[in-house]
Amino acid sequence: MAVFKEKLHLYWQLIKSLQTGLLLATGLAGYMSARCPVTHWTTLLGLSCSLFLSISGSTVLNMWFDRDIDARMPRTCRRPLPAGTVSPTEALLLGLALAAAGVGWALALDWLYGLVVFAGLFFDVVVYTIWLKRRTPWSIVWGGIAGGMPILAGRALGAGAIDWISALLALAILFWIPTHIMTFSMRYFKDYQSAGVPTFPAVYGFQVTRLVITLSSLAAALCIGLALVSIGMAWGYLRLLAVLSAGLLLIAATSLARPSERVNLGLFKYASLYMLSSMLLLIVDAL
């Protein structure tokens, strides 16, 4: 039993639970946004489990592929793979099993939904992690597209098709991803440098990166606002979203005008809170 608990603890670290949880929340919000009858608990359960499995699988496969990078960075060198507490073969098998189970369950639930889930996995693992992450800082665009897939998949399952609102929601995530990742790559600039990963701050400088963050935050806020207006969200929730968006833009602009490590970290934290709050508003509004 103790061995099982230890394994579970190590595997839990491999799936980056907070990031997986946030992406899962976007998928659930996408599904609920279609105003589908959420009392179909079997569908909701299937969506939650299949998304959780495929996102977890994708994250474990990223960890497996990037274990050499993780070993060179102080922030990540204590993760299970570089620390040697989980073997690469074990991680690869776990990642493949989780991903196959997730995509398989998704396809069984609905072919379109399954296809989008598979696309997310493909973009994240193959295009972003294996192909582009070590070659160009623009890999972030593909990371963003992969990040937008759970919400696209959720809405496709709820609405039965990919409509323009799905595209707006996915775009909102795509534009939000740079705020999330670039603030992080500025905070751990030296780590990424020593690992040889090309990042925006390393290639274009910090100030250009801050400008990109501000513009992408603005684009994310506009896309999510437009999507939620189009969905017909209650006026009160839209007011709340406007306030939260103003906060995001205020911190992004402050980071551009008066840059500091604290503001950068604050923007990273606030951006996560902003996305989670927006998704919760979508869910609450649909109930």
Which residue ranges make up the site for other proteins (CB under 8 A)? 234-237, 239-240, 242-244, 246-247, 250-251, 254, 262-263, 266, 269-270, 273
Least distance from C-beta 253 to other proteins, angstroms? Answer: 11
State in angstroms the smallest separation of the CB of 271 from other proteins: 10
Nearer to other proteins (CB atom), residue 81 or residue 186: 186
Q: CA separation (Å) from 105 to 52, 99, 110, 115, 118?
A: 11, 10, 9, 11, 11
Query: For other proteins, which is the closer residue by CB, 259 or 266?
Result: 266
CA atoms of 252 and 258, how far apart (whole Å): 10
Q: Which is nearer to other proteins, 8 or 243 (CB)?
A: 243
To other proteins, the closest distance from the beta carbon of 199 in angstroms equals 23
For other proteins, the closer CB: 167 or 240:
240
Q: How far is the CB of 277 from other proteins (least distance, A)?
A: 8
Token pair recorded at residue 281 = 């508003």
Q: Specify burial of residue 154 (Cβ count, 10 A radius: 0-12, 13-18, 19+).
A: buried
- Rounded-to-integer distance, Cα 251 and Cα 137, Å: 23
The vertex-104 CA angle with 79 and 47, nearest 5°, equals: 80
Shortest separation between residue 242's beta carbon and other proteins, angstroms: 8
Least CB distance to other proteins at residue 267 (A): 9
Helix ranges (H only) for 123-233 are: 139-159, 164-187, 189-195, 200-204, 206-231
**Phi/psi at 133 (5° precision):** -55, -35
Least CB distance to other proteins at residue 239 (A)? 5
The DSSP call for residue 169 is: H
Nearer to other proteins, 52 or 274 (CB): 274
What φ, ψ does residue 240 adopt, rounded to 5°? -65, -40
Q: Output 127 or 251, the one with its CB closest to other proteins.
A: 251
DSSP 8-state code for residue 126: I
- Short-list 213, 219, 215, 214, CA closest to 199: 213
Instruction: Using the minimum distance from each CB to other proteins, give the nearer residue, 78 or 239.
Output: 239
The rounded distance, in Å, linking the Cα atoms of 28 and 8 is 25
